[in-house]
Amino acid sequence: MTGANGRPRNVISSLFLGADQLEELNLRLQDKLLVIQQNEIRYEQQFIDGAEVVVVAFGTAARVAQTSVQRMRRAGLPVGLFRPISLWPFPEKELAQLTQHIPSVRSILVVEMNAGQMYHDVREAVGHRVPVNFKGRMGGSVPLPDEIEKELRNQLRLIDSPALLREAKNGQYAYN
Amino acid sequence: MVSMLTTEAELELQEECTREETLVYHRPDSLADVYTHYCPGCTHGTAHRLVAEVIDELGIRDDTILVASVGCSVFAYNYFDVDACEAAHGRAPAMATGVKRVHPDKIVFTYQGDGDLASIGMGEIMHAAARGENITTIFLNNATYGMTGGRWPRPVCRDR
């Protein structure tokens, strides 16, 4: 914008009210979203090898779950952690691969500090291959590692994990 | 030219009227030759024309920058054949302040309705005036939020 001296006017505008114009804009934005979905997915996985129950959690809940998972692994229990770093674009394919290509994974536990905002994303990615369970705290309450561990043990019991039975026989941990 | 005129006298009259030396009324050069999107009865068309005529008379079309308001008249930049940009609702004077300070040698003007200027944008216009910004504001008080169905902007419609 310098004054349209000897040239056609320049207009800086971001308004598209005509249906055709707006659809053109939307198509362009859809292409842009696709590029983002292809390039910006970030996630982290821990202790996935041999894991029978995998916790899916993000943010603070993921950090607490990490402690639970580390503790349980030290006790010889097969649990793992999948932590989406980018919630959008959501690491759908990576989660699906977890259940498709790692045969040991038999159950998923979603831990969140809300009523389940990511739960359905996980279910959509995993499909019906393995059960997806949910543990949530709300109102800003932070779950404790013990709380998540208790839930994970519950899940291991539900899938009749041999490791849990072995541990019970050794009498190392009280079963709750 | 499409014409309903038939008689020779009428054709002569038409020729006479469109000759340059006798032509008294035509579209201002700084008004673009496009179809209007304003509704019948809306005063923007007339106001646009008057502003464009003044731009022509002053010969400032090449040095003028328009900041459009929000509302139907956001599309002022479709009609005025000058460089232009949009502003957030009511914030055209703030935008114009910035443009003017970057281009102090240009004529920067805003074209705002009463909903934009006097309802949501009262703060911006008051403070631009208080600072003594060297911009021009064309304020069209048609007492209507046209784009959202003809509601009345509060500050200007008490006696309507």
Nearest CB to B99 within list A1, A9, A10: A1
pTM for the model = 0.66
Nearest CB to B83 within list A6, A10, A15: A10
Would the pLDDT of B152 be above 80?
no
Q: Which of A5, A11, A14 to mutate to test the interface with B (most CBs of B within 10 A)?
A: A11
Q: What is the pLDDT of residue B109?
A: 97
Nearest CB to B103 within list A2, A4, A6: A2
Mean pLDDT of A100-106: 93
List chain B residues with CB under 8 Å of A15. 74, 86
Which A positions 4-43 lie with beta carbon below 8 A of chain B? 4-6, 9-15
Smallest CA-to-CA distance from B94 within B67, B113, B76 is with B67
Q: Tell me the C-alpha to C-alpha distance, in Å, between residue A145 and each of A152, B81, B100, B133, B139.
A: 10, 67, 60, 61, 64
CA geometry: angle at B124 spanning B122 and B126, to 5°?
65
What torsion do the CA atoms of B115, B121, B125, B126 make, to the nearest 10 degrees? Answer: 110
Asked if B86 and A6 come within 8 Å (Cβ–Cβ), the reply is no
pLDDT bucket at B3, cuts 50 / 70 / 90: low
Mean pLDDT of A94-121: 95
Question: Using one digit for the tens of pLDDT, what is the confidence trace for B27-46?
Answer: 999 999 999 988 888 889 99
Mean pLDDT over the full length of chain A: 92
Does ipTM surpass 0.95 in this model?
A: no
Smallest CA-to-CA distance from A79 within A97, A111, A104, A57 is with A104
Q: Is A109 left (phi over 0), alpha (psi -120 to 50) or beta?
A: beta
Instruction: Name the CA radius of gyration of chain A, rounded.
Output: 23
Q: What is the pLDDT of residue B144?
A: 81
Q: What is the pLDDT of residue A176?
A: 42
Query: Residue A143 and residue A61: Cα distance in Å, rounded?
Result: 7
What torsion do the CA atoms of B115, B121, B126, B131 make, to the nearest 10 degrees? Answer: -140
Task: Give, for A165, the enclosing helix (H) or strand (E).
Answer: helix A162-170
Q: Which residues of B touch A (CB under 8 A)?
A: 61-65, 74, 77, 80-86, 99, 103, 106
Question: Using one digit for the tens of pLDDT, what is the confidence trace for B8-19?
Answer: 888 888 888 778
DSSP state of B116: I
Q: What is the pLDDT of residue B157?
A: 54
